[in-house]
Amino acid sequence: MGLRFSTLLVLLYFIYGFVVISSNKDEYDPTIKTMEEFSGYPIHEPDFQDSLSSLSVETESLQRQIDELATLSDTPAPSVTRVLYTEKDVLARRYIKNLMSLSGLSVKEDAVGNIFGRWDGYESELAPVSSGSHIDAIPYSGKYDGVVGVLGAIEAINVLKRSGFKPKRSLEVIMFTSEEPTRFGISCLGSRLLAGSEELAQLLKKTVDGQNISFSNAARLAGYEDNEALSSVFLKKGSYSAFIELHIEQGPILEEEATSIGVVTAIAAPASIKVDFEGNGGHAGAALMPTRNDAGLAAAELALAVEKHVLDSGSIDTVGTVGILELHPGAINSIPSKSHLEIDTRDIDEKRRNEVIEKIKESALSISKKRGVKLSEFKIVNQDPPALSDDEIIKATESSCKELNLSYKKMISRAYHDSLFMARISPMGMIFIPCYKGYSHKPEEFSAIEDIGNGVRVLALTLAKLSMS
């Protein structure tokens, strides 16, 4: 009931707000005055250019910002590489903080570099509404993943400011630290810590990168001197009344169906598994086939078993990937004596995903026995639960699409996002926009500025609705 009433107020605000008419700017439509007295707070601004069409996005400026941020890369265009706490990452952070300041937001950072830019509402004691994403990029990726959600959120606030809108709840843009696991092997590092992961806080005290540089030292070199106080990053549940993330789809559905907006209903969460087999090895010519204990073939058989168990789940939402398969000693004329696999399984149904994991383990044990190799490790590295989008945020997003005359469809996210962990702090939702052929994490990643603009308009209107609740 509360959201419905507040949504009505937002719409009335957009429809009736500017009716100033004489040279005396203190005079305005008595209808507005009545509405203000009824609601108990001002919904009229004399200089407010007021209609839904006033939610205009400065697309040229937004595209220029995307392009400028892409130049802060450790690899040449069109690829983008921006890894946590490197020089380019620090410069990109400075760029974002500057944009936030230019937009009139109050800016702060926490001990690991999560950046927050806040626009105070007129009831600032209420829990704020937040939006944002990440700007780090895996090696040789593209310039839209995450970036659209950060720059788009800043522009969404600019859109609302230009329209004359005044938020009840404060609006906040968050740039999350290290959504990608590139440097320290930990995805969604910043948002996991915001969600209060004590386990991660302890792990980071002894975590090193591929060059044996500790997380603490890397953070200090990037200017975060207080990074050891990681518990200071934790946020209490309810710190935000809502969080909504704008993101490229990273899949082909919206483009193929010529649909403007994806309203995300759930985020599939991965479980990561590490498996090691050990065999006898030997000469590729001299060791006879019936007597071999081939760790490489054990790995290959398990990879096929992963595919079978995922398909046997009966759901299109269950996926599994053997992303790493390494053989030792790695010589063409040597039978593999060791093999190492890293497996990613995902689903929006946690029980179904965990059943697949159990079947993979059963297959690993069976293969080990049949092939006479040792299963030296079967380790579940992480097993995060999926997250469901909040019904009220979904409704607000759908309503915004309808009011802006934009086509939309409900869909799930099969990719990982910071929203997965923000759902542990507050109600969560996501907005997807189309991207070229579904490409992502590669230089060909692309979203048309018209599609980005549509996403920003939907985000802006949704933020306005949520801020008035």
- For range 360-387, the mean pLDDT: 96
50 or 265: which leads in pLDDT: 265
Angle, CA 175 vertex, CA 169 and CA 177 arms, to 5°: 135
21 and 27 Cβ atoms separated by less than 8 Å: yes
Beta strands in 279-314 (DSSP E): 282-283
Compute CA distances 291 → 276, 371, 373, whole Å. 21, 10, 12
pLDDT at 31: 46
174 and 115 Cβ atoms separated by less than 8 Å: yes
Q: Is the pLDDT of residue 14 over 70?
A: no
Helices 59-70/147-163 angle, 10° precision: 150
Q: Can you tell me the distance from the alpha carbon of 289 to that of 93, in angstroms, rounded to the nearest whole number? A: 57
Q: Tell me which amino acid residue 310 is.
A: V
pLDDT at 237: 96
- For range 24-43, the mean pLDDT: 44
Angle, CA 195 vertex, CA 194 and CA 197 arms, to 5°: 100
Q: Is the pLDDT of residue 54 over 80?
A: no
Return the SS3 of 189.
helix
Q: Can you tell me the distance from the alpha carbon of 127 to that of 242, in angstroms, rounded to the nearest whole number? A: 8
- For range 111-130, the mean pLDDT: 97
- For range 136-149, the mean pLDDT: 98
Q: What is the DSSP string of 306-369?
A: HHHHHHHT--TT-EEEEEEEEEES--TTEE-SEEEEEEEEEES-HHHHHHHHHHHHHHHHHHHH
pLDDT at 18: 35
261-275 burial, b for 16+ CB within 10 Å, e for fewer?
Answer: bbbbbbbbbbbbbeb
Q: Is the pLDDT of residue 102 over 80?
A: yes
77 or 6: which leads in pLDDT: 77
* pLDDT tens-digit map of 384-426: 899 999 999 999 999 999 999 999 999 999 998 999 999 999 9
Q: Can you tell me the distance from the alpha carbon of 391 to that of 388, in angstroms, rounded to the nearest whole number? A: 9
Measured over the CA atoms of residue 113, residue 143, residue 97 and residue 155, the dihedral's sign is negative
Binning pLDDT at 50, 70 and 90, where does residue 34 land? very low
457 and 2 Cβ atoms separated by less than 8 Å: no
Return the SS3 of 161.
helix
Longest dimension (CA), the chain: 99
351 and 318 Cβ atoms separated by less than 8 Å: no
Q: Can you tell me the distance from the alpha carbon of 74 to that of 83, in angstroms, rounded to the nearest whole number? A: 8
Q: Tell me which amino acid residue 234 is.
A: F
Q: Is the pLDDT of residue 55 over 50?
A: yes
Q: For 1, which DSSP code?
A: -
Average per-residue pLDDT for the chain: 91
119 and 157 Cβ atoms separated by less than 8 Å: yes
Q: What is the CATH number of domain 52-268+386-467?
A: 3.40.630.10
* pLDDT tens-digit map of 423-442: 999 999 999 999 999 999 99
Give the architecture-level CATH label for domain 270-383.
Answer: 2-Layer Sandwich (3.30)
Binning pLDDT at 50, 70 and 90, where does residue 10 land? low
Q: Tell me which amino acid residue 68 is.
A: E
* pLDDT tens-digit map of 212-239: 999 999 999 999 987 778 999 999 999 9
109 or 39: which leads in pLDDT: 109
- For range 359-372, the mean pLDDT: 98
Phi and psi based region of residue 153 (left: phi greater than 0; alpha: psi -120 to 50; beta: remaining): alpha
Q: Tell me which amino acid residue 394 is.
A: I
pLDDT at 15: 43
* pLDDT tens-digit map of 249-270: 999 999 999 999 999 999 998 8
Q: Tell me which amino acid residue 41 is.
A: Y
Q: The sheet that has 269-278: what strands, in order across it?
A: 319-328, 338-347, 269-278, 374-383
pLDDT at 28: 41
Q: Residue 275: beta bridge partners?
A: 341, 378
pLDDT at 252: 96
465 or 5: which leads in pLDDT: 465
- For range 349-356, the mean pLDDT: 96
Q: Residue 346: beta bridge partners?
A: 270, 319
Compute CA distances 164 → 42, 62, 122, 152, 331, whole Å. 12, 20, 14, 19, 68
430 membership: H or E segment, kind and range: strand 428-433
pLDDT at 229: 85
